[in-house]
Amino acid sequence: MPTDAILSTARQFLGVDPTVSITLEPIKRGASGRTILRVKTKGRDPFIGIHWTDEREDNERFIPVGHFLKKCRLRVPAILFESLKRHVVLVEDLGDVDLLSLKSQPFAERLPLYRSALEQIDRLFYAKPDKDFVLMPQFDAALYRWEQEYFFEYLVEGHLGMDATPLRQNPAFGELAERLGKVARHLVHRDFQSQNLLVKDGLVWLIDFQGLRRGRQEYDIASLVFDPYLDHTPTERAALLDLWENISDEQPEPRLFHECATQRLMQALGAYGKLVHLRGHEWYRPHLATAAKLLKEVTAATPLEAALAPVLAALH
């Protein structure tokens, strides 16, 4: 059992026998096929235990990517102990405050945290892995098509019960994947959204980075700017892009940025549909309408607008 594996690994790390009391507190975060627990024992700072399964290929990449990012001086939790045999890693406890939990605070007060987050994306641009460092497969046309199929299968067909055949046969989706897949020069987090941005000591720290791969930097930026959990206003989105320009001396090209946002939002909607329809996670249901609203906005006046209209209308 995952809990037993984490407990055994924690005892090994702490060097204590079974008579020593250890408390395990569940942390509900995301949907990546992992068990995440806070480990507490008297006289020691708490730490986080993570048990992963083979449900997702990227789970086993958490440890090597964590070491790589720490070496590149990005803010990620320190890896304290690993047990590959048990599929367990113990990491630094960064606390429970993420960017989403601060949503009710005035946007202006949160801006320094957005700067802190975007600075990590800028630093990732300069991170250079060794030639033999194994990354997840890069964002090519096939991976963008996979994201689209995820949307068709789990949102359109699974959650809404609609026929996705016209979407699959629409050449505009394949053309979008081909355009975006032509370039994959940057390292991207791939899930750069508010739940994966923890706040500690006034700075943002990255978690859930196991999907690191080469792709378009604009994908990560769009993931935050068009984060359905935060549902930024147009004014707030413009402020975030101004902030990015201040950090990187450039703004994303508008069409490319919206196309990356289109891909990201389709992927998110596929995930929400799967989590609500197949796993009964009702927490994600309200975010379906928000993501649909944003997807409608970024596809306005594009070849995808008419194709997606019936699907997005069904989510409002």
The string of DSSP codes covering 31-89 is -SSEEEEEEE-TTS--EEEEEE-SSSGGGGGHHHHHHHHHHTT---PPEEEEETTTTEE
Q: How far apart are CA 197 and CA 116, in angstroms?
A: 10
| Span 189-198, average pLDDT | 97
Q: For residue 79, what are the β-bridge partners?
A: 91
| Span 133-137, average pLDDT | 94
pLDDT at residue 30 is higher than 90: no
Q: Which amino acid is at 90?
A: L
The DSSP call for residue 211 is T
Q: How far apart are CA 11 and CA 20, in angstroms?
A: 9
pLDDT tens digits, 279-300: 999 999 999 999 999 999 999 9
pLDDT at residue 32 is higher than 80: no
Q: For residue 188, what are the β-bridge partners?
A: 213
Q: The CATH number of 100-314 is which of 3.90.1200.10, 1.10.10.10, 3.40.91.10, 3.40.50.300?
A: 3.90.1200.10
Q: How far apart are CA 218 and CA 169, in angstroms?
A: 27
| Domain range summary for the chain, segments of one domain joined by + | 2-92, 100-314
- Architecture per CATH, domain 2-92, reads as 2-Layer Sandwich (3.30)
| Span 244-254, average pLDDT | 97
| Span 93-109, average pLDDT | 98
Q: To the nearest 10°, the Cα dihedral for 44, 25, 74, 210? A: 130
Of 101, 102, 98, 111, which is closest to residue 235 (Cα–Cα)? 111
pLDDT tens digits, 113-129: 999 999 999 999 999 99
